[in-house]
A = this chain, B = another copy of it.
């Protein structure tokens, strides 16, 4: 397994230089405590924990996997101890209210923590990650009593939570949810049904697990409008902060998965388990979706994590392994052969990983500022403010989730490729990154679902193209303010053309879709990928802009850091951005070539 080193220099560059988090934090009620000193302390401590505790468990976790025996789930060796350290460090409550034992810091800091933990050990990071999803939902939708009983132990990390949506017959299509919730005389419900693919659904890390469950009342309307949200603890609380009787949430199986094998993916049977309604009857999906954007961005993080970890592994190997001579002449004539990194094609692979990892990180850190503002709306109980920022965030969410998970998987594969045949052997850990990363384009909405969310909903239905006009005018501002900067010219010239093209493509699709009702569906993934490549280009131009500024001002401690940023931006624009044009051409084709072939004619005997 590559030895993970947290890229703190890069993280600081984004937080302190490109996006000016210090000013951003000062502007928020829950950000004033996030002083540069405190943030620096958190970054260092988190990096230490990730490098020294989590990273060494990553490969072992894959080898051990999780085990279900006599009704008990065991996580890989070392996970429990690592989790205890996580709890002792107070990490779970970092961004949750002090009222329930948290530190109340901005949610963007939670994302940075998630990135470090996820890169060090994605399987491990899923346990607290899912719990954060449950905590967020309870924080907004639970009653005060529910919060007192559940949110405090969850925030402290003594208990963990899950999100129970999927059932055997439905994942994306939650209108098919069939788990029953029967009202009881005491105001509680009895839940019966089977949930599958429940991450952290059962384990030995905490004494209790709090399931957030979608279920249907007996008289509920069909489809998505008849789904309610319930809180179903594995053990009922004893009223004194401890646990009482078993609540018949039975883990009947663990899935055998391609990767993330240290993460327990459970089949849970609810057998007349006692549940407590969260929020309003039949409004369960709406409650669940309050934090859909942050949950999806949490998955986008996995793309950057895979790219970063695989990049670090491949880079180290490219310095270590020697093979053949460079085409432009021997570079290390005294050695038996040149190191891999002298070969242009190996550099192409490494730079692709670097461009995606660092560009994707910039996209995440930019979006996290919007999530911070949305959370302020929640803290202030200001629904209008929350929705305003959630809408802004909502435009970027499918781009982040859809594109960064696809490109993260590509980068994980490039890392294997740099290793040649050795990449295919488990020992080096490079193939594990591929297997772990592969889930990211599937869960939290597949790439196809993200694409429909972006083009069908966010761009056309909700804003009739306004979301694109707004983002491209932000990009154009960058172009305008650099109009006289000679070195920025190649970037802004290309970006200017892309802004015009993106709006034009959007309008073309909107018009075509009036007559061609399958146009949106057939164009969506091309549109999503196009949006992703333009967004990456914008973020690389932002980083180049800041780097030129630093170099021109003089006195930078590490000018080579800034030069590397500019050169990586050049690589991105010359070598990866051209892909956007293939997507532009693909998406404009009428849906006919996708829809015309009758399903019975896909194969012939």
Binding site for B on A (CB under 8 A): 5, 7-10, 166, 169-173, 175-176, 197, 255-259, 312, 315, 318-319, 322-324, 326-329, 336-337, 341, 343-351, 354, 409, 413, 416-417, 420-427, 431, 434-435, 438-439, 441-443, 446-448, 451-452, 456, 517-518, 520-522, 524-525, 558, 560-561, 563-564, 567-568, 570-571, 574-576, 578-583, 585-586, 589, 591-599, 601-605
Contact = CB atoms under 8 A, between A and B. Distances in A.
Contact of A591 (B259, B344, B422, B558): B344
Given A319-B599, A424-B439, A564-B597, 10 more contacts: A197-B421, A258-B435, A327-B518, A344-B594, A344-B595, A346-B448, A347-B522, A417-B447, A431-B438, A435-B435
Contact of A517 (B327, B347, B431, B596): B327
A561 B604 contact: yes
Closest 6 CB pairs of A and B: A344-B521, A328-B517, A578-B585, A258-B431, A344-B522, A345-B448
A332 to B, nearest CB: 12
Contacts of A582: 578-582
Contacts of A604: 7, 9-10, 558, 560-561, 564
Chain A interface secondary structure, helix, strand, loop or mixed?
helix
A431 B197 CA distance: 16
B581 A567 contact: no
A581 B347 CA distance: 22
A591 to B, nearest CB: 6
Contacts of A580: 582
A323 B171 contact: yes
A435 B442 CA distance: 17
Nearest to A592: B570
B438 A416 contact: yes
A581 B591 contact: no
A587 B335 CA distance: 30
Contact of A323 (B170, B257, B319, B343): B170
A585 B585 CA distance: 14
A446 B490 CA distance: 33
A424 B442 contact: yes
A493 to B, nearest CB: 15
15 contacts: A8-B605, A171-B323, A255-B425, A259-B424, A315-B602, A344-B522, A348-B594, A349-B448, A417-B441, A417-B446, A417-B447, A435-B435, A570-B593, A578-B581, A582-B582
